Amino acid sequence: MTDVDGVASAEANPVTRRLTDWDRARLTALANTYGTPLYVQDLDRVRQNCARMRSAFPDADVRYAVKAHTGRAVLETVREAGLDAECASAGEVDRALTAGFTGERVHYTAVNPPARDLDRVVDIAAEAPAMTITLGAVDTLDRLTERGYDGRACLRVNPGVGAGHHAKVRTGAAPKFGIPYDRAERVAREAATRVDVVGIHAHAGSGIDADDLEDHRSLVSRMGSLARSLTAPATDELAADSADDGQIVTDPLALEYVDVGGGFGVPYRADEPPLDLDAVAEATRDALGVLPGVDLAVEPGRYVVADAGVLLTRVNTVKPTASEVVVGVDAGMTDLLRPAMYDAYHPIRLLGGATAAPAPADRESTSVTVAGPICETGDVFCRDRRIERPVRGDLLAVGITGAYGYEMASQYNSRPRSAEVALAGGDARLVRRRERHADLTRVERDATADADDETGGSR
């Protein structure tokens, strides 16, 4: 491991942080102080993950996909670690700016952007012209130019190659995303007559593992070819084809970067090997080929924050049934949606703590279903999982929840969202307070107060 930002060795910065690596006494103390459900996010681990990413991709622009975890403490940590911010909405752009990212470090990736988002982002771009807007449809380009935008733009391409841990997160071949590959050159050259085309972008999907490496390679190689075409003069054929409307730039485009997306997976299961990031980086450079003057960019989200997070939850019910032991806990799909939405696996560890119960190590293991408090059959974190037998009052830790955990939380069943604590060094700091019942009705009360306001609070 090379030295980046003071993180020097594999020992100082291990490739994996497993749930078992967390200190049980510390997690227990946090749950006792702040209550449960409680998200814990370790900023030191976020910093380590940023450093490993930068070390694997030393020449690339590394952009943190903010959607994985938008908490301000995380954003500030990532910014200090030298990563840029990739934002999926105007809300994320606002959050990135509030966390201190300057315009040139903000990349807004518009996916069917609502008018309100474009209005806001064009306003922001007027103040911060070094910001880049990535667009994946000609309509988006038209809507931007209608708003007077002629600034930095990147073209999102649909490379026709998808990958990822679940069908719902494979984007690369989903028609929803990006300009179809076979039209991309023409659209980019056409766009260049109206905006400053500085990059091209594609994202295969989320949760890429070693088995997806070939797909990753083929996506990158397609993007490399496209970049080579764009940085050369347009072919006579394309020029002639476009001559009717005369609307393309035939000169080489001055591309600054090729962004090949994020999606780098992390091991959720104890026996799963970590992604070999150096091998991915090498495969990426190799597949991209030679592109003088054009940088590589990557957009990791999960990799930066996933193993920095744990969700703590308390057992409130233990119910033996004919088929299984159901362990009811106070966190559910409203706190952590991934198991219900993607059948995602998260490690679960018994921390113990119930009064008069033996320490976890002194208990028999048993097969359990861990279920939340939401009135939905799908509200289970796991089925048929062997752990030491929990009793009422125990704490459980759900691991690798730092990415897409709190972010996908909701108030369904009128459940207030959990609190979140950030760790840095020996300190713990409450960074999101637990929601209260009054928060559940706040927008209704505001609506009454705003009854005369026909915008519905949409400003």
Tell me if 208 sits within 8 A of 164, measured CB to CB.
Answer: yes
Closest to ligand LLP by CB, 300 or 373 = 300
Site mask for ligand LLP (CB under 6 A), range 215-254, x = bound? ----------------------------------------
Binding residue for ligand LLP, selected from 79, 143, 338, 346, defined by CB under 6 A: 338
Give me the least distance between CB of 203 and ligand LLP, in Å please.
Answer: 4
C-alpha–C-alpha distance, residues 197 and 412, integer Å:
42
Site mask for ligand LLP (CB under 6 A), range 105-134, x = bound? ----x-------------------------
C-alpha–C-alpha distance, residues 213 and 115, integer Å:
37
C-alpha–C-alpha distance, residues 143 and 116, integer Å:
12
Long-range pairs, 382-388, Cβ under 8 A, ≥24: 382/339, 382/345, 382/346, 382/348, 383/324, 384/324, 385/348, 387/348, 387/349, 387/350, 388/350, 388/360, 388/361, 388/363, 388/364
Give me the least distance between CB of 305 and ligand LLP, in Å please.
Answer: 8
Point out which span in 12-20, 247-255, 262-270, 394-402 binds ligand LLP (CB under 6 A): 262-270
Tell me if 195 sits within 8 A of 138, measured CB to CB.
Answer: no
Point out which span in 3-11, 70-78, 200-208, 288-296 binds ligand LLP (CB under 6 A): 200-208
Binding residue for ligand LLP, selected from 113, 159, 301, 347, defined by CB under 6 A: 301
Give me the least distance between CB of 306 and ligand LLP, in Å please.
Answer: 8
C-alpha–C-alpha distance, residues 109 and 132, integer Å:
8
Give me the least distance between CB of 413 and ligand LLP, in Å please.
Answer: 20
Name the residue among 276, 235, 1, 260 with its Cα closest to residue 134: 260
Angle value at C-alpha 96, between 262 and 69, nearest 5 degrees:
55
Is 87 considered catalytic here?
A: no
Closest to ligand LLP by CB, 192 or 298 = 298
Q: Could you say whether residue 86 binds ligand LLP (CB under 6 A)?
A: yes
For residue 142 the two structure tokens come to 């038209």
Q: Could you say whether residue 299 binds ligand LLP (CB under 6 A)?
A: yes
Binding residue for ligand LLP, selected from 151, 262, 328, 360, defined by CB under 6 A: 262
Q: Which of residues 403-432 bind ligand LLP (CB under 6 A)?
A: 403-404
User: How many of the chain's residues bind ligand LLP (CB under 6 A)?
Assistant: 22
Q: Could you say whether residue 302 binds ligand LLP (CB under 6 A)?
A: yes
Site mask for ligand LLP (CB under 6 A), range 378-407, x = bound? -------------------------xx---
- Count other C-beta atoms under 10 Å from residue 159's C-beta: 29
Angle value at C-alpha 147, between 129 and 259, nearest 5 degrees:
50
Closest to ligand LLP by CB, 203 or 349 = 203
What is the Cα gyration radius of the chain? 24
The single residue of 87, 154, 375, 382 carrying the catalytic annotation is: 375
Point out which span in 2-10, 228-236, 301-309, 323-331 binds ligand LLP (CB under 6 A): 301-309
Give me the least distance between CB of 218 and ligand LLP, in Å please.
Answer: 18
The phi, psi pair for 214, rounded to 5°, reads -65, -40
C-alpha–C-alpha distance, residues 418 and 401, integer Å:
13
Q: Which residues pair with 386 in a beta bridge?
A: 367
**Complete DSSP assignment for 185-212:** HHHHHHHTTTSEEEEEE---BS-B-GGG
Among all residues, which ones are annotated catalytic? 375
Using CB under 6 A, list all residues that contact ligand LLP.
Answer: 65, 68, 86, 109, 169, 171, 203, 206-207, 261-264, 299-303, 338, 342, 403-404
